[in-house]
A and B are shown apart, each in its own frame.
Chain A
Amino acid sequence: MPALDELTTPAGAGDTVGGVPARLVAAPRDTAEAAALITAARGLSVVIRGGGTKLDWGVPPRELDLIIDTRRLTGVVEHAAGDLITVVRAGTPMAELHELPDQQLALDAPPAATAGGTVAANASGPRRLRYGTARDLLIGITVVRPDGTVTRAGGKVVKNVAGYDLGKLYTGAFGTLGLITECVFRLHPVPAAALFVRATAPPGHAARILGGQFAASACEVNAAPGAEPELAVLLEGTATGVRQRAAAVAAVLGGEVSDTRPEWWDVLPWPAGGVGIKLTGTLSQVPALVATAVGAGATVRGSAGAGVLYAGFPPGGACPDACVEAGRAVELLRAAAVRAGGHAVVLTAPAGVRETLDMWGPVPGLALMRRVKDQFDPGHRFAPGRFVGGI
């Protein structure tokens, strides 16, 4: 069994997570090496790094000895086109998965994001309305547990109810339950045609699209203080069908049909150093949520069709003013989200401000979640303190 120092290298200046510097970095090449590494690293605190596009999401780790980087855990292991599935190593950039011939992994994720990170963060973009999120498209997973055990759940077929669906547990767990090394995804055919309809319209008009017979793949809102709110709808399907439906949507919303996406499409609405908040709520409450967030000075984007919105505030200068302001905004949006039957989670905030915020907010079922964490990671070494309730 290789020793820890054969598997790791000293961390460099850039090897930090949420401002916390690591001591060591390792980049295992396959599941076996990852298992050897994690076994050798018993007792060390660990954070996993994929493409690093979202490493600043969540609370900074309580402590950090080792960063496990997935940049060498890459490659498509299998693409069974006839079965519409693919098996990929966790570090594979999404860019590679955006290029499967005639088929797609229908997740909106930036090219630099990795498959594993996309699963671990369970972030989602506009097309979740039609295709769901990583949670819905992941059908099998290989994970190295914090004690070094290699474990698989699910399989390679879409329909499968054998045993617990642990893939769901690791999805959105932000690396707190182990290192994902391989994922099996369900794929979709690339649609023959796609068109966007873009309109200046209040978010409430989205209901006309959802309640109609347009079978939209995405229905996005974009709203900011002092600007007219916009709606944009993506239609996918056969060439003729898409043309007809796009024309009908344009008529309902009074908008324009285009084959290019709006410049704000799938772009998170906060600049570097800003505060980014995810808001969820019931569909009928989306307009109220948007109104509250815009009223508080946020730019809001997201899926009116799924009830998942992102609100962004620009960088606010130095504390304490910025902290007070951010704290007030979070409180306001959290109350609005709760009224809407959902939640407000602060995804990112500048250092200094972050420490003053309750990033995750109240979470139902927390006691049960702690028990899950205790079972999977009894030493609390993986991403310590980053997740809900200090998990």
Chain B
Amino acid sequence: MTSIDALAARLRAAIGSSRVLTDRQELRTYECDGLAHYKVIPALVALPATAAQVAAVVRECAAAGVPFVARGSGTGLSGGALPHAEGVLIVTSQLREILDVRPDDERAVVQPGVINLQVTKAATPHGYYYAPDPSSQQICSIGGNVAENSGGAHCLKYGFTTNHVTGVEVVTPDGESVRLGGLAPDVPGYDLLGTFVGSEGTLGVATEVTVKLTRLPEAVRTLLAGFASTDQAGAATSAIIAAGVVPAAIEMMDALAIEAAEAAVRCGYPAGAGAVLIVELDGPAAEVDAQFDEVSALCVEHGAFETRIAADDTERALIWRGRKSAFAAVGRISPDYIVQDGVIPRTALPEVLRRIGEVAAEHGVRVANVFHAGDGNLHPLVLFDDAVPGQAERAETVSGAILELCIEHGGSITGEHGVGVDKATFMPRMFSDADLDTMQLLRCAFDPDGIANPGKVFPTPRLCGERPGRRQGTHPRHTPDVAEIF
């Protein structure tokens, strides 16, 4: 019996046979997440139904020295939930209960597999909602959101997952359950909750999450403005921020992204626009009205040739439809594409967009830009046709060059999709060895044996116990594993 067979037997005894998958066909369902060009079939899939079962699975993994990877809905776009070929994939989809909605405390307590949008649906009857709204909110899980520190169109004003989670129950890689944070703010001690959020499954598995609920605003107003160029739309964005207005969202799409959206959902954006801005304001009605007039005027002042104001929810949904469908829509105008995710200081927008255009032209590929302009989070879609020899490689080159541009301008290699396997090799461009070593100190405190989602986020993990800065020769743990084959 191989060690995996032995582990499977122990897991079946611990959580029940039906919750442990070993059939190759069944395992194949889980071979990738939203980043489908990385594929690894896990040795085992566990489908625990309770937090205690998650802990039992992790304990068995720890005892056997077998790596594990947590998976929520598998919508991640950086390969964070890519399985380990010799490891266990722990899928949280059975942990889908909303445990408690407490409008008076402005909190909800949920299991990790709960879908993001379900939290808002449970809170809305009480006049509240859950503010972080990734575009994948209809399918992605809260556990995955916590692990990725997900954002959405509205984080410009409301912040990211990390600003809306006050507690997690975590199974650490030794199989212990620990509560970090809780219902109340400012739990004494190190802010381990804050470090767990965004750790991409490398510090343990979240088995329960306490989130903040936000009061539904009195008024929401949405505007669509058409500009001749992205430069003009960028200048309008800066002017809005400079005027001291903090909109709930400012989203931008360029001509190619608009073309794709039109082809897919006929959203009827202003004809001939080189760029559109979607600006949404929310808050007290009187305030929103006053600022809305100001925003409209600023858009016109910076060259908007057409502005449209949503008169009701239906019109508002129509304005958002083009934006929300943009990623998928690109499939209509290009057989293949890469979704990039990088961040730049907002003021560098015109310069960076110009450079992206130049780099794309140099390599003979097209780039569609659709992004969160308010916080400088770019999502360039690099279009290519895999059937044309060499195009995929050229698209990769352009995609990488875009990240270099972000770093050069003082930005980040990821604003919301995470590092995962996809960008681990870019980490050393953004951070020094000392910076990465320091992150490893935290990792070693949680996971001394390195069994939680190994091969993700960090290009070269170090052995715990080894003092930082004294690394020499080949890293003993750095034998090529599956993650590096791709």
| Structural contact, A244 and B195, CB atoms closer than 8 A | no
Out of A188, A237, A280, A365, which one reaches B178, CB within 8 Å? A365
Q: Is the CB of B287 within 8 A of A159?
A: no
A4 to chain B, nearest CB (A): 21
Known contacts: A80-B347, A341-B182. The answer to whether A166 contacts B189 by CB under 8 A is no
Q: In the complex, A343 Cα to B185 Cα: how many Å?
A: 9
B241 within 8 A of A: yes
Q: Which residue of B lies closest to A124 (CB)?
A: B186
Contact A165 B197 (CB under 8 A): yes
| Inter-subunit contact A169/B241 (CB<8 Å) | no
Complex contacts, A173 vs chain B, CB 8 Å = 190-191
A160, A164, A342, A374 — which one has the most chain B CB atoms within 10 A of its CB? A164
Determine the residue in chain B with the shortest Cβ distance to A149.
B434
Give the contact stretch, choosing among A68-76, A92-100, A150-158: A150-158
CB 8 Å contact bits of A134-154 with B (1 = contact, 0 = none): 011000000101010111110
In Å, the complex CA distance between A342 and B186 comes to 9
How many chain A residues sit at the interface, stated as a range, is 35 or more
Q: Mark A344-375, 1 if CB is under 8 A from B, else 0.
A: 01000000000000001101111111011011
**Contact present for B345 and A156 (CB under 8 Å):** yes
B472 within 8 A of A: no
- Interface 1/0 per residue, B293-304 and A, CB below 8 Å: 000000000000
B372 touches A283 (CB 8 A): no
Q: Is B116 an interface residue (CB 8 A)?
A: no
Cα A160 to Cα B188 in complex, Å, equals: 26
Q: Is the CB of B434 within 8 A of A160?
A: no
B473 lies within 8 A of chain A by Cβ? no
- Say yes or no for A44: interface residue by CB 8 A criterion: no
How far apart sit A277 and B160, CA to CA, in the bound complex (Å)? 30
A272 within 8 A of B: no
**Residue B64 interfacial (CB < 8 Å):** no
Contact B419 A163 (CB under 8 A): yes
The answer to whether residues A213 and B188 also contact, given A165-B162, A169-B195 and a CB cut-off of 8 A, is no
Contact residue among A191, A238, A368 (Cβ-Cβ distance under 8 Å from B192): A368
Given known contacts A161-B148, A375-B441, A189 and B244 CB-to-CB distance under 8 angstroms: yes
Say yes or no: A159 contacts B195, CB within 8 Å. no
Chain B residue numbers with a CB within 8 Å of A82 are 238, 241-242, 345-347
Q: Give the complex CA separation of A126 and B188 in angstroms.
A: 19
What separation, in Å, do the CA atoms of A16 and B235 have in the docked complex? 53
Closest to B186 in A: A280
Chain A's closest residue to B285 (CB) is A213
Cα–Cα, bound, A340→B347 (Å): 45
Selected contact of A155 from candidates B189, B191, B410, B457, CB within 8 Å: B410
- Tell me the residues in window 159-185 of chain A with beta carbons closer than 8 Å to chain B beta carbons: 159-166, 168-169, 171-173, 177
Residue B27, interface by CB 8 Å: no
Contact with A along B217-249 (1 / 0, CB 8 A): 110000000000000000000100110111000
- Residue of B with least CB distance to A303: B185
Asked if B97 is at the interface of the complex by the 8 Å CB criterion, the answer is no
Given contacts A82-B241, A157-B375, A365-B179, contact A237 B412 (CB under 8 A): no
Q: Tell me the minimal C-beta distance from A128 to chain B in angstroms.
A: 8
Name the residue of chain A whose CB is nearest to the CB of B127: A211
How would residues 443 to 475 of chain B score, 1 for a CB under 8 Å from any chain A CB and 0 otherwise?
111100000000001000000000111000000
Contact A157 B376 (CB under 8 A): yes
- 26 A-B residue pairs with Cβ-Cβ distance under 8 Å, sorted by A, are A82-B241, A83-B376, A122-B186, A122-B191, A136-B159, A145-B438, A153-B439, A157-B344, A157-B411, A159-B151, A159-B415, A161-B418, A162-B427, A163-B430, A166-B438, A171-B191, A173-B190, A189-B246, A241-B286, A244-B286, A342-B182, A343-B187, A368-B178, A369-B192, A372-B442, A389-B189
Q: A83-B345, A376-B441 are in contact. List 10 more A-B contacts (CB 8 A).
A: A151-B432, A161-B414, A163-B436, A164-B443, A166-B442, A169-B442, A213-B217, A213-B218, A364-B179, A388-B190
Report B's interface with A, CB cutoff 8 A: 102, 104-107, 127, 148-149, 151, 155, 159-160, 162-163, 172, 178-180, 182-195, 197-199, 215, 217-218, 238, 241-242, 244-246, 283-287, 290-291, 343-347, 372, 375-377, 410-419, 423, 427, 430-432, 434-439, 441-446, 457, 467-469
Which residues of chain A have a CB within 8 Å of any CB of chain B? 80-85, 102, 122, 124, 132-133, 135-136, 143, 145, 147, 149-153, 155-166, 168-169, 171-173, 177, 188-192, 207, 210-211, 213-215, 237-238, 240-241, 244-245, 278, 280-285, 306-308, 340-343, 345, 360-361, 363-369, 371-372, 374-376, 387-389
